[in-house]
Every structure is written in structure tokens, then in C-alpha cells.
């Protein structure tokens, strides 16, 4: 398998006659900062390219395209933890992008990690804002109230009475379904996730204290869920559903600064 890149990335590759390519950027092609990052990547200076993409993100903010390009550079520079972190950030911002998912899964395979593609419902929850589900709930509730009032009025028209009954019997399960999806969407989107960036692996500890017993390791680049925080340690859930504590320095959040808002245990 090979990494997939978009047309603009292939244009940069042809321009510099080298075999590398990167995802197209949303900014204008005359942008000198992006040109410098693209040029460094195309010439094989992957550490330099990663540094330039990081500077651009620091100045302009996160975008799926910039995170994807940074992840590609980190992959080529043999920094699997930082590569996976930025692929995850790109995927969070564009959950339905096939190129991002392809490169992420390939990078995970090369790092010896199991695949973790989004399921269709996960991509849907990330793609649709929770306020959309709330609006659908309000609409269903309004229709139900309208149907209840209409049924209670003893209308002379049998067709209208039948219509109100249909609205009631169809709207009730829809309301319950939208309420369930709303709760699931809020819970899914409020997860605090991070990527292991410690070289090779991070130690999983029994308790959040210096010198605590080591109960396992989590490989570099793995995605984990943060359940709590104590001082300089995070309580995490790994993919095998094991819980433990790891040091803050070994983990970076997928959503920047999200660890700062995580309540301490």
C-alpha cells in the first residue's frame, strides 16, 4: 500500500521532480510560507517541512489540510507519535475524508498498531452538530403537541382525525430516537482523547504517584481516552479497555487544550 495524496500535492511532486506528494492546501499557491513547507517536503527535508507546517498552524489555527500535511511530514520524518496525533486531528476536523483515513490506517499499520477507522455512525456524529438533533427533537415534539390538540378537538372530518393519529404514532418513536441520538452525540463529542507521543511506548501505572507500580505499556501513536487527571498524571482507558495512569508528558490531546478543561480526580 502507498499513501494517498490529492492533485495539488501531485503537482508539487512533479514540479520538483521528486517522488513525494502532499495534500492540497486551501491557501493561495503564491503563499510563501506554504511554498517553503511544500518545497522542503518535496526535497525530502521532512523535519524542516514538519517545523514549517507547525509554524503555519500556530499562526493560522488548525485545519484538516494543514494537520494532514503535517502528519505526512512527521510520518516521513519517522515520528509516529506526532504523525498519528496530527492524522487524528485532521480526521476529527474532516471525519469523512477518505485520504486522511487511508493514510492514518496505513501509518498505524506501519507502526504495528491495530486499525481504528471511524464507523459510519461515528463519522455522522462528528459531521452533524448536536444542535441539529435538538432542532429535530423540537420539531417532533411540536408535531406531537399539535396532534394531541387536534385529536382532543373531536374534529368532524375522519381524514383529519386519522392524520393526527398517524402524526402521533409516527412522531413518538421519532422523538425517542432523536433524543437517544442527541444524548449519544453529546457523549461521543465530549470525549477527551489523546495520542501517546512518548518514544516507543508510555508506561501505564497503577496509581498517579512517583514510583508507582508499572502495570503495562502503551505504544507510541496509540489513541486513548482520558478519564481523569491528578497532578501531572492522566487516568486513561486504552483500546483493550484497561485503565491506568500515565504521565502528562507522554500524551498530547487530539483537540488542542482539551486536557486543560478535564476535571481533576
pLDDT at 186: 56
Contacts of residue 127, defined as CB under 8 A and 6 or more positions apart, other chains included, come to 95, 96
Residue 117: which residues within 8 A CB-CB, separation 6 or more? 101, 105
When mean pLDDT is compared across 23-27, 72-76, 94-98, 191-195, the lowest value belongs to 23-27
Check whether domain 7-117 has CATH 3.40.50.720, yes or no: no
Distance (Å, rounded) from C-alpha 32 to C-alpha 22?
A: 16
Kind and range of the H or E run holding 252: strand 251-253
Cell 487511508 -> residue: 102
Tell me the average pLDDT of the chain: 80
Q: Which pLDDT band holds residue 199 (cuts at 50, 70, 90)?
A: very high
Classified by CATH at the fold level, domain 193-261 comes out as SH3 type barrels. (2.30.30)
Residue 213 has pLDDT above 90, yes or no: yes
**Domain residue spans of the chain:** 7-117, 128-189, 193-261
Q: Which residues contact 195 (CB under 8 A, 6 or more apart)?
A: 81, 84, 85, 88, 221, 222, 223, 224, 251, 252, 254
Output the pLDDT for position 247: 94
For residues 255 and 90, the model is more confident at 90
Minimum mean pLDDT among 26-30, 127-131, 166-170, 196-200: which range? 26-30
- Residue 131 gets the label, from left (phi > 0), alpha (psi -120 to 50) or beta, of alpha
Residue 89 predicted with pLDDT over 90: yes
The yes-or-no verdict on residue 49 having pLDDT over 80 is yes
pLDDT at 9 over 50: no
Please state, in angstroms and rounded to a whole number, the distance separating the CA atoms of residues 131 and 75.
36
- 1: cell is 500500500
Which of 78 and 239 is assigned the larger pLDDT? 78
% of the chain with per-residue pLDDT over 70: 75
pLDDT at res. 27: 41
Report pLDDT for 129: 65
Q: What is the mean pLDDT of residues 119-144?
A: 72
Flag whether pLDDT at 164 surpasses 80: no
Please report the pLDDT score of residue 218 as a whole number.
92
Amino acid at each position: 500500500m502507498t499513501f494517498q495524496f490529492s492533485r495539488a500535492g501531485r503537482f508539487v511532486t512533479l514540479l520538483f521532480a521528486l517522488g513525494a506528494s502532499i495534500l492540497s492546501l486551501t491557501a493561495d499557491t503564491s503563499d510563501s510560507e506554504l511554498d517553503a513547507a511544500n518545497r522542503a517536503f518535496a526535497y525530502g527535508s521532512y523535519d524542516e517541512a514538519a517545523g514549517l507546517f507547525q509554524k503555519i498552524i500556530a499562526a493560522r489555527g488548525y485545519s484538516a489540510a494543514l494537520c494532514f500535511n503535517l502528519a505526512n511530514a512527521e510520518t516521513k520524518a519517522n515520528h509516529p507519535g506526532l504523525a498519528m496525533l496530527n492524522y487524528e486531528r485532521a480526521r476529527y476536523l474532516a471525519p469523512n475524508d477518505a485520504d486522511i483515513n487511508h493514510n492514518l490506517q496505513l501509518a498505524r499499520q506501519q507502526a504495528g498498531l491495530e486499525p481504528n477507522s471511524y464507523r459510519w455512525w461515528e463519522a455522522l456524529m462528528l459531521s452533524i452538530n448536536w444542535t441539529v438533533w435538538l432542532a429535530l427533537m423540537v420539531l417532533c415534539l411540536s408535531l406531537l403537541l399539535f396532534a394531541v390538540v387536534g385529536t382532543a378537538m373531536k374534529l368532524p372530518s375522519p381524514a383529519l382525525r386519522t392524520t393526527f393519529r398517524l402524526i402521533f404514532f409516527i412522531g413518538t418513536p421519532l422523538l425517542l430516537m432523536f433524543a437517544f441520538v442527541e444524548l449519544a452525540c453529546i457523549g461521543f463529542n465530549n470525549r477527551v482523547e489523546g495520542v501517546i507521543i512518548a518514544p516507543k511506548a508510555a508506561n501505564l501505572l497503577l496509581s498517579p504517584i512517583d514510583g508507582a507500580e508499572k502495570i503495562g505499556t502503551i505504544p507510541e501513536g496509540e489513541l486513548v481516552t482520558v478519564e481523569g487527571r491528578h497532578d501531572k498524571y492522566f487516568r486513561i482507558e486504552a483500546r483493550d479497555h484497561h485503565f491506568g495512569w500515565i504521565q502528562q508528558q507522554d500524551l498530547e490531546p487530539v483537540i488542542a487544550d482539551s486536557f486543560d478543561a478535564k476535571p481533576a480526580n
